[in-house]
Amino acid sequence: MPLFLDSRAAGFDRSFTEFLGAKRESSADVDGIVADIIADVAHRGDEAVIELTERFDNLKLTPQTMAFSQGEIDTAVKTVPKEERAALELAAERIRAYHERQLPEDARWTDDTGAELGWRWSAVDAAGLYVPGGLASYPSSVLMNAIPAAVAGVERLVICAPTPNGAVNPLVLCAARLAGVETIYRIGGAQAVAALAYGTNTIAKVDKITGPGNAYVAAAKRRVFGRVGIDMIAGPSEILVIADKDNNPDWIAVDMLSQAEHDESAQAILITDDPDFGEAVARAIDKRLETLERAAIAGPSWRDNGAVITVRDMEEAIELSDRIAPEHLEIACAGAEDVAGRIRHAGAIFIGQWTPEAIGDYVGGPNHVLPTARSARFSSGLSVLDFMKRTTLARMTPAALRAIGPAAETLAISESLEAHGLSVRARLDALNEGED
């Protein structure tokens, strides 16, 4: 049974804190295995990747078949039904339009000493997108990872997608093509991350690796972080819905199930100011679970990790929501816009009853790669900025150096960094001589 909490009940704060601290993911320690895989790929390259792919994905590759050929992609893309292709195209177009607005601006100005200051943004040269195989192989994730990279201006974009037993989802290839990705490797797991980070004879190394994955992929990303950039370590999905009684309980129920059906470790939470409404949603969830295709996943998720929290008022809902720092936050209550404006920690907010979270998974425009496990406290969803970096610029004139150089020299001396001071002093002395 999901957890029912009432903020007016004795011991609520302790129960809520315990609920917040509960760990949903199985903490299988795969770090040692992953370290060995990475070392193996770093040393033996293609050979290791091929062996590991045979072992883990039951697929025998050669350097020649590691990537899909353009012909193979063509063939797969042709099997995609027209309606699905059109839906992918609409999604791609809307995601592109949203992310194009994220392109950051360069800046350059002259301050009152005459110093020119500024910064300039540029794209990374190459990015590798990880696309999980099997059940969690989502074409929408291909769009959400590849389009921001393309908008950023990344020149070389590749995808790694495992194809266990050789099975491939044609929509993944179709989404890759729509996003402009030409190179798709049939490899996955820690070996794919290692190949992208270290490079092999066949796979050129990249500068940034993004995309979700299982525990092995997550551990591998953590290990190669620093050698390459990574996006984040993704955990199971979460949704928090803040709703008052003026909602259809069934709509809220399916919204919550749309996260619960991802994974048994996923979490759906309802915060409401009306206990009767909370119970109505719980009943509606039970009813939907009777027929839901993925009830075997959504059911345990709801029962083990779900929660209905009754609060005194929306003030309290905002406060609890910020403590949860949810990945997805749906706000369906009177004054939803005002409530949304006061939330500080959330990956994505869906405002009003006409905005089911699933819209954001596919066609809304914002990214669906979002911070999980309370990391919205300090991190953001994937964006164009993840594929760019900023170079700061400074240009002194003799006058600017005269104005601020002596302070730099003073601080250098106080930090016992003589050469730092000398590099300023040598120029100031030349300027002073020039004046004589």
* Residues 299-318 interacting with its own copies (rule: CB under 8 A): none
Q: Does 167 bind its own copies (CB under 8 A)?
A: no
CB of 93 to its own copies, least distance (A): 10
Q: Judge whether 259 is annotated as a binding position.
A: yes
Residue 201 Cα distances to 47, 56, 63, 108, angstroms: 10, 21, 8, 42
Q: Is 146 in the site for its own copies (CB under 8 A)?
A: no
Residue selected from 23, 416, 433, 434 as contacting its own copies according to rule CB under 8 A? 416
The nearer residue to its own copies, 9 or 430, going by C-beta atoms, is 430
CA 413 to CA 278: how far, in whole Å? 65
- Quick note: the x/- pattern for its own copies over 388-407, rule CB under 8 A, is -xxxxxxxxxx-xx--xxxx
Binding segment (CB under 8 A) for its own copies, from list 2-10, 62-70, 275-283, 360-368: 360-368
- Specify the stretch interacting with its own copies by CB under 8 A; choose among 2-10, 61-69, 303-311, 366-374: 366-374
435 part of the active site: no
Phi, psi of 70 (to 5 degrees): -60, -35
Pairing status of strand 126-130 against strand 208-210:
parallel
Q: How far is the CB of 151 from its own copies (least distance, A)?
A: 15
CA 272 from chain center: how many Å?
Answer: 28
- H or E stretch at 376: none
Question: Scanning residues 198 to 257, which ones bind its own copies (CB under 8 A)?
Answer: 207-208, 222, 225-226, 228-229, 232-233, 248, 250-251, 254-255, 257
**CA-based Rg of the chain, rounded to a whole angstrom?**
26
What is the Cα–Cα distance from 338 to 4, expressed in whole angstroms? Answer: 26
* Active-site pick, 99, 238, 261, 328: 328
Q: Based on the shown chain and the rule CB under 8 A, indicate whether residue 158 belongs to the binding site for its own copies.
A: no
Tell whether 420 is in a known binding site: yes
The token duo for 105 is 């601006």
* Residue in the block written with tokens 């910064």: 119
The number of residues making up the chain comes to 436
Q: What is the DSSP string of 84-118?
A: HHHHHHHHHHHHHHHHHTTPPPPEEEE-TTS-EEE
**Given CA atoms 59, 159, 362, 345 in this order, what sign does their dihedral have?**
positive
Q: Which residues contact 172 (CB under 8 A, 6 or more apart)?
A: 131, 137, 138, 139, 142, 161
Structure token digits, residue 382:
């994937």
In one-letter notation, the amino acid at residue 139 is P
Among 132, 139, 211, 212, binds its own copies (CB under 8 A): 139
Residue 245 vs 288, nearer CB to its own copies: 288
Query: Which residue, 29 or 436, has its beta carbon nearer to its own copies?
Result: 29
Shortest approach of its own copies to residue 124 CB, angstroms?
5
Residue type, 192: A
The residue among 251, 180, 239, 190 whose CA lies nearest residue 215 is 190
d(CA 413, CA 407): 10
Question: From CA 361, how far away is CA 369, in angstroms rounded?
Answer: 9
Residue 55-94 contact track with its own copies, rule CB under 8 A, x = bound: ----------------------------xx-xxx-xx--x
* Subset of residues 1 to 20 that bind its own copies, contact rule: CB under 8 A: none
Is 328 tagged catalytic? yes
Pattern 280-299, its own copies, x by CB under 8 A: --------x---xxx---x-
> Was 328 annotated as part of a binding site?
yes
Residues 19-58 that bind its own copies (CB under 8 A): none
CA distance 124 to 121: 10
Residue 352 to residue 251: CA distance in whole angstroms: 12
Instruction: Determine the interface stretch with its own copies among 41-49, 178-186, 307-315, 336-344 (rule: CB under 8 A).
Output: 336-344
Query: CB 55 → its own copies: shortest distance, Å?
Result: 26
The yes or no reply on residue 319 touching its own copies (CB under 8 A) is: no
Per the CB < 8 A criterion, the answer to whether 190 and 199 are in contact is no
User: Any known ligand binding at 237?
Assistant: yes
* Count of chain residues binding its own copies (CB under 8 A): 125
In the complex, minimum distance from the CB of residue 104 to its own copies, in angstroms, rounded to a whole number = 8
Q: Does 415 count as an annotated binding residue?
A: yes
Least CB distance from residue 292 to its own copies, whole Å? 6
Q: Which of 52, 76, 124, 181 binds its own copies (CB under 8 A)?
A: 124
CB 269 within 8 A of CB 241: yes
Q: Are 57 and 188 in contact (CB under 8 A)?
A: yes
Q: Residue positions in the annotated binding site for substrate?
A: 237, 259, 262, 328, 361, 415, 420
Q: Residue positions in the annotated binding site?
A: 130, 191, 214, 237, 259, 262, 328, 361, 415, 420
Q: Residue positions in the annotated binding site for Zn(2+)?
A: 259, 262, 361, 420
Active site residues: 327-328
